[in-house]
């Protein structure tokens, strides 16, 4: 279980810009098997929250605990999938996928076996020896997912992993992610700007607002389970309850975006 308790994060002043209160009073609990998706206007602190969960930085206030232990740096119990540029272009698909295990000193045969299993899970079993530049954007993102899974983390953290992909590839990888989620007991934390993607993927949706960044709305969802039962994503995304929810969430986010255009960010 991941617990975020009363977390605040203030970035220090840069030149003439004062400090920025990126997060204030954030509370969130993510349990095994939860797929939590974060949505919110630009600058509301989504990436900051993910970075704290990843241990890339420490909170100014409050604490984050994973499995009862305070997060005080990056760890193999958390795998991160970024939007792009996170693969090593001079290594092959297999070498990228096994990289984390290699750093941990795992034997070649064991890490190859684990990497091959996860490359098969994302449909790249025939591409072990390809170089990264020989793959499409969607395939590269599949390698990123396989790489994160290969260290067998308790939690997968994903910061807009589909943002750079075309619509069709994006839908295919959304469906792939749900299939991976359904056969694992991992915690997923996923950031997106797409309301449709958030509703489709999440078992819980948090909506964040800026100035200062905080969680303002939480929704439990079951569109992902309905997809896993029916396999028909288009039917789910065009269903009346999906569309109604999409409009509600869009109303909240557009309200925040418009307010943001009128106000300066809060400085302390």
Ligand X SMILES: Nc1ncnc2c1ncn2[C@@H]1O[C@H](COP(=O)(O)OP(=O)(O)OP(=O)(O)O)[C@@H](O)[C@H]1O
Residues near ligand X, by CB under 6 A? 11, 14, 20, 22, 40, 42-48, 213, 265
3-state secondary structure of 192: coil
Interhelix angle 137-150/108-121, rounded to 10 degrees, is 130
Min dist. Cβ of residue 11 to ligand X (A): 3
- Residue whose CB is less far from ligand X, 124 or 165: 165
Q: How far is the CB of 124 from ligand X (least distance, A)?
A: 28
In the chain, beta strands by DSSP E: 2-11, 20-30, 35-40, 61-66, 69-70, 78-81, 155-159, 187-191, 204-209, 214-220
Distance CA 21, CA 120 (A): 43
Compare residues 42 and 107 and give the one whose CB is closer to ligand X: 42
Residue 57 CB, nearest approach to ligand X (Å): 9
What is the smallest separation between the CB atom of 110 and ligand X, expressed in angstroms? 36
Nearest residue to 86 via CA among 144, 129, 131, 128? 144
The least CB distance from residue 13 to ligand X, in Å, is 9
133 token code pair: 């530049």
Nearer to ligand X, 69 or 267 (CB): 267
At its nearest, how many Å lie between ligand X and the CB of residue 40? 6
Among the listed residues 200, 205, 202, 199, the one whose alpha carbon sits nearest the alpha carbon of residue 218? 205
Q: Is 72 helix (H, G, I), strand (E, B) or coil?
A: coil
Phi and psi angles of residue 132, each rounded to the nearest 5 degrees, phi first: -60, -40
Q: Which residues pair with 191 in a beta bridge?
A: 38, 159
Cβ nearer to ligand X, comparing 82 with 265: 265
């Amino acid at each position: 279980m991941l617990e975020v308790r009363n977390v605040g994060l203030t970035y220090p002043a840069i030149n003439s810009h004062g400090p920025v209160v990126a997060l204030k009073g954030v509370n969130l609990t993510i349990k095994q098997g939860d797929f939590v998706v974060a949505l919110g206007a630009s600058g509301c602190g989504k990436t900051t929250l993910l970075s704290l969960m990843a241990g890339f930085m420490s909170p100014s206030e409050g604490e984050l605990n994973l499995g009862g232990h305070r997060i005080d740096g990056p760890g193999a119990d958390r795998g991160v999938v970024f939007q792009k540029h996170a693969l090593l272009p001079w290594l092959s698909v297999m070498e990228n996928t096994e990289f984390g295990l290699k750093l941990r000193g795992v034997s070649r045969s064991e890490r190859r076996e684990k990497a091959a299993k996860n490359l098969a899970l994302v449909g790249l079993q025939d591409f072990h020896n390809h170089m990264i530049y020989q793959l499409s954007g969607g395939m590269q993102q599949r390698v990123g997912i396989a790489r994160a899974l290969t260290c067998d983390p308790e939690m997968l953290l994903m910061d807009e992993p589909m943002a750079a992909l075309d619509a069709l590839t994006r839908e295919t990888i959304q469906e792939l992610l749900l299939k991976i989620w359904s056969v694992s007991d991992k915690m997923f934390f996923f950031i997106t700007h797409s309301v449709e993607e958030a509703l489709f993927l999440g078992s819980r949706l948090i909506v964040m607002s800026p100035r200062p960044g905080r969680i303002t709305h939480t929704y439990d969802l079951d569109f992902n389970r309905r997809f896993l039962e029916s396999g028909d994503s288009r039917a789910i995304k065009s269903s009346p309850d999906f569309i109604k929810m999409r409009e509600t969430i869009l109303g909240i986010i557009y309200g925040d975006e418009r307010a943001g255009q009128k106000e300066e960010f809060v400085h302390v």
